[in-house]
Amino acid sequence: MDTLSLILDDMHFDGVVFASSVNAPPWSWHLAVDGLGCAHVITRGQAWLIRDGAEPLLLETGDLVVLPGGLPHTIQDRPNTSATPRDLLPLMARDLVDSRLGGQDTPQSCHLISTHARFDVNMAAPLVKALPPVLHVRGLGEAPPPWLAVGLQFLALEVAHQRPAQQAILNRMGDILFMQCIRDHVESVPEGSGNWLSALKDRALSTALALIHREPQRNWTVPELAKEACLSRSAFADRFTQTLGEPPLTYLTRHRMRLAARQLSTSALSVGKIAEQVGYASEAAFSQAFKREHSLSPSAWRAQRISEGAAHGSTVMPPRQEAA
C-alpha cells in the first residue's frame, strides 16, 4: 500500500500560484503564507533565505527550497542587503508569463521562481508538523536533481506561449514538485528515528496507516490493525505510540475529525450524514468527539466557517435541509 500517496491525497492539493522574477542587486522579497507550503527555485545566480531565529541560508543556481508551513521569510541578494523587502504574495496572483517583477537583467541578477501551494491545511497538519521548517534540495553544482531539472525544463516550455489549459497544467506541475520534495525527504528519514515520518518506512506501521486513511469509516480495533500489521497487539500498540506520538485509535479519531471538518466546511451534507461517513453510528457520539477535538460542536464550527468565508469573500456550502 502506498501510504504516502493516501496521505497526500487527503491533503487535497489544489494547484499552485507562481511568480517569476529577475532581480538585480540590491533586492529583497518577503513572503508569508501561514500553513500553506511555499517554495523558491534559483534558476540563475544566488540568493539568501532569511528567517527569524535561523542562520541565513545560501541558495545557488539549481537549488530548490521549500517551506512546508509557509513560515514568514525574506529571500534577497545578501544577508545584510540594503533593499527594503517587498511583499511577494500580492504579485503571485499574476500570470507567470507576465510576472517579471525585478527589473533589469545584469550579470549579478538572480533569476527566481517563487510559488505557494494550495491544499487543506487542516488535513495536512500532521505531515507538515513532522517536516522540518525548511527543505533544501541542492542543485549539485549548478545542475538541479534530475526530477527538478525535468520539471524546470517543462515549466520553461509551458510558459513560453499562451496555450489552452495552461493554468491547469501549471497547477499539476507545481503539485508534483511539492510532492517530490516531500517524498525525497521521507526517503531520507532513518527507520527507527522516532520521527512521525519514519512510520512510512516501517512496513507494519505503514500498513496500519494506509488502512486508516483508506477506510477511516471502518470500526477499526487495535487487535484488527495489529493483525494486518503482522504484530502482536501490545507490540503494535507500543510501536505505533512511540513513533507517531499517540495511540492508534487516538490517531484514527483525530483523522476522522479532520475529515469531518473538511466536509463541514466544503459540503452541504447534514451533520448526521457526515457522522456516518467518518464512522459514527450516533450523531451524538460524533458531536461529542468533534467538540473534544475542535472545542465547538459540528454545527457551531460550520456556522463559524460560513461566517469567516463570507467575511473573506469565499464560498462555504451551507448545510442542506433534509426531509424528515
Q: For residues 304-318, give the mean pLDDT.
A: 64
Domain locations in the chain?
3-188, 196-245, 250-311
Provide the pLDDT for residue 253.
97
Cβ of 97: how many Cβ atoms within 10 Å?
A: 14
Same fold across 196-245 and 250-311? yes
**% residues pLDDT > 90 (the chain):** 51
Q: What is the mean pLDDT of residues 172-194?
A: 83
Superfamily name and number for 3-188: Regulatory protein AraC (2.60.120.280)
**Highest averaged pLDDT of the listed ranges 131-140, 165-174, 207-216:** 207-216
pLDDT band at 50 (very low <50, low <70, confident <90, very high): very high
Give whole-number Cα distances, 18 to 63, 90, 100, 114, 191, in Å. 16, 11, 11, 6, 35
- Signed CA dihedral, 122, 126, 128, 133: sign only: positive
Give the pLDDT band of residue 312 (cuts 50, 70, 90): low
- Across the range 225-235, mean pLDDT stands at 97
Confidence (pLDDT) at 97: 42
Please state the rounded mean pLDDT for residues 10-22.
Answer: 83
Judged against a pLDDT cut of 70, whether residue 278 lies above it is answered with yes
Residue 170 contacts residue 151 (beta carbons within 8 Å): no
Burial-class residue 317 by CB neighbours within 10 Å (0-12, 13-18, 19+): middle
Mean pLDDT of 120-137: 90
What predicted TM-score, i.e. pTM, was given to this entire model? Answer: 0.82
| pLDDT at residue 102, rounded to an integer | 54
Average pLDDT on 163-180 reads 82
**What 3-state DSSP class applies to 295?**
coil
Class of domain 196-245: mainly alpha
Given a cut of 80, is residue 42 above it in pLDDT? Answer: yes
Q: How far apart are CA 204 and CA 225, in angstroms?
A: 9
Ranked by mean pLDDT, the top range of 28-42, 113-127, 216-230 is: 216-230
C-alpha count within 13 angstroms, C-beta hemisphere, residue 14? 9
In this prediction, residues 115-122 reach a mean pLDDT of 87
Amino acid occupying residue 45: G
Cell numbers for 60, please give them: 545557488
The C-alpha atoms of residue 113 and residue 101 are separated, in whole angstroms, by: 11
- Looking at residue 318, the DSSP 8-state letter turns out to be P
Nearest to 261 by CA among 285, 284, 291, 218: 291
- For residues 281 and 262, give the distance between their C-alpha atoms in angstroms, rounded to a whole number: 19
Measure CA of the first residue to CA of the last residue in the chain; give whole Å: 41
The percentage of residues in the chain with a pLDDT greater than 70, rounded to a whole number, is: 89
User: Does domain 250-311 fall into CATH 1.10.10.60?
Assistant: yes
Which burial class, exposed, middle or buried, applies to 215 when counting CB atoms under 10 A from its CB (0-12, 13-18, 19+)?
exposed
**Which has the closest alpha carbon to 95: 19, 26, 43, 170?**
19
Could you give the 3-state DSSP secondary structure of residue 65? strand
Residue 158 has pLDDT above 90, yes or no: no
The average confidence (pLDDT) of the chain is: 86
Phi, psi of 319 (to 5 degrees): -65, 145
Q: Pick the most confident of 5-9, 270-274, 304-308.
A: 270-274
How many CA atoms, within 13 angstroms, populate the side-chain half-sphere of residue 60?
7
SS3 (DSSP) at 137: strand
Cell of 180: 517530490
Q: Are 125 and 133 in contact (CB under 8 A)?
A: no
CB 233 within 8 A of CB 193: no
Contact 4, 186 (CB under 8 A): yes
pLDDT digits (tens, 9 = 90+) for 103-118: 567 888 998 888 888 8
